[in-house]
Structure 1
């Protein structure tokens, strides 16, 4: 079963996470297929830019708790988006949770509809937003993020833009994106690649400096007793034992 739907229009390749029955959770299979699709787009001279979007009502619910990718695979995918020699634009019309926010932050431009909602839900299942912090913290406001990192609360597109997680938002995300995609189509491919390289220098420095430590932290937390209780509680639709 294909988990990534591919379409193309006027040199813009659209990759849609296409596992709506699993809320586009980041399974090992989906991560692998998305990495392959991005690699194909990177080497195709007919692709000027990539749009990363979704089917269904959820952009991504984060890691698939039944079939999670290894932390190293998620790190590699996030870095691949950041390093892709073509702009990657996120198009969001639904919910974004946990690891899905890592995908969002790895993109060069991120746009959402006003219907979209966001949450760093990791703390509520006994883990931390470790690996996804690699692209998030260099691009977002740590003070603005602190509340949402620490509480797991849901927040809307306006707050997501204020923190730096989104570039823009609006009632109709495609109306918002049209001038952006038009601008990318009018830009020279080599100039786009070099300009993206300028913009991603600090993000890649974070990967070089912190990826190993954050990967180890993620693996340790996901194997902890608190995480087992949190994930079990989530699957059983109950509060975990630590809720007071």
Structure 2
């Protein structure tokens, strides 16, 4: 069964994360399928833009704790989204946690319904938002990131828009996206590609400078005793040993 489905409407390819029973967690298999879908859409001259969306009530719960992708595979996926010569637009109607926020930050445009919620939950299971910081730090308000990185608090779509994580939010996300997608359809393909290169240059500088260090940090933290306790506590639906 496919974990990422594909549809197309008027030159816009929609890639849908379709593992709702696992809250669209970023497993090794899902990351691989999404990368393949992005590659195919990027090469297809009939595709003007890509929409990344989801089934179920969760866009992505972050890394699949039972089958996580290697950190370098997640780095490669985030970089692929940023380097793709076509705009990638996130469409969110549910919750986004941890690594899922990295996907949003990598997208060129991100829109969510007002029912969506967001949280960097890494610190609560004993790790850090290391790899996803590659697109997040250059694009998001640093004071907001400090708060939400350090506390793991949940925040809403209006706050996500204020901080730069989202482009826009609305009660009806499809109505909000309609003029955006129409604008992309009217734009010249080569001009879109070169304009995207201008917009992503500084983000890619961060990848070039920091990807190796943050990948190593992620691997080290995920293998630590605190991470083992945090993940066990999460799966057992209890507080971790350090909670006071």
Scaled by the length of structure 1, the TM-score of the pair is: 1.00
The whole-number CA distance in structure 2 between the counterparts of 1:126 and 1:112 is 28
Match of 1:139 in 2: 139
Match of 1:227 in 2: 227
Match of 1:164 in 2: 164
The whole-number CA distance in structure 2 between the counterparts of 1:131 and 1:145 is 14
The whole-number CA distance in structure 2 between the counterparts of 1:194 and 1:180 is 18
Shift of 1:183: 0.2
The whole-number CA distance in structure 2 between the counterparts of 1:192 and 1:237 is 46
Q: Runs (4+) of structure 1 moved beyond 6 Å? A: none
The whole-number CA distance in structure 2 between the counterparts of 1:214 and 1:124 is 19
Q: Give the total of aligned pairs.
A: 244
The whole-number CA distance in structure 2 between the counterparts of 1:50 and 1:216 is 31
The whole-number CA distance in structure 2 between the counterparts of 1:131 and 1:164 is 18
Q: Does 1:88 align with 2:104?
A: no
Match of 2:212 in 1: 212
Match of 1:196 in 2: 196
Match of 1:79 in 2: 79
Residues 172-228 of structure 1 deviation map (CA, whole Å, 9 limit, x = unaligned): 000000000000000000000000000000000000000000000000000000000
The whole-number CA distance in structure 2 between the counterparts of 1:145 and 1:125 is 18
Shift of 1:169: 0.4
SS in 2 for 1:200: helix
Unmatched 5+ residue regions in structure 1? none
Match of 1:118 in 2: 118
The whole-number CA distance in structure 2 between the counterparts of 1:242 and 1:34 is 36
The whole-number CA distance in structure 2 between the counterparts of 1:227 and 1:40 is 36
Match of 1:58 in 2: 58
SS in 1 for 2:130: coil
The whole-number CA distance in structure 1 between the counterparts of 2:162 and 2:229 is 33
The whole-number CA distance in structure 2 between the counterparts of 1:235 and 1:143 is 31
Instruction: Provide the aligned C-alpha RMSD in A.
Output: 0.3
Shift of 1:145: 1.4
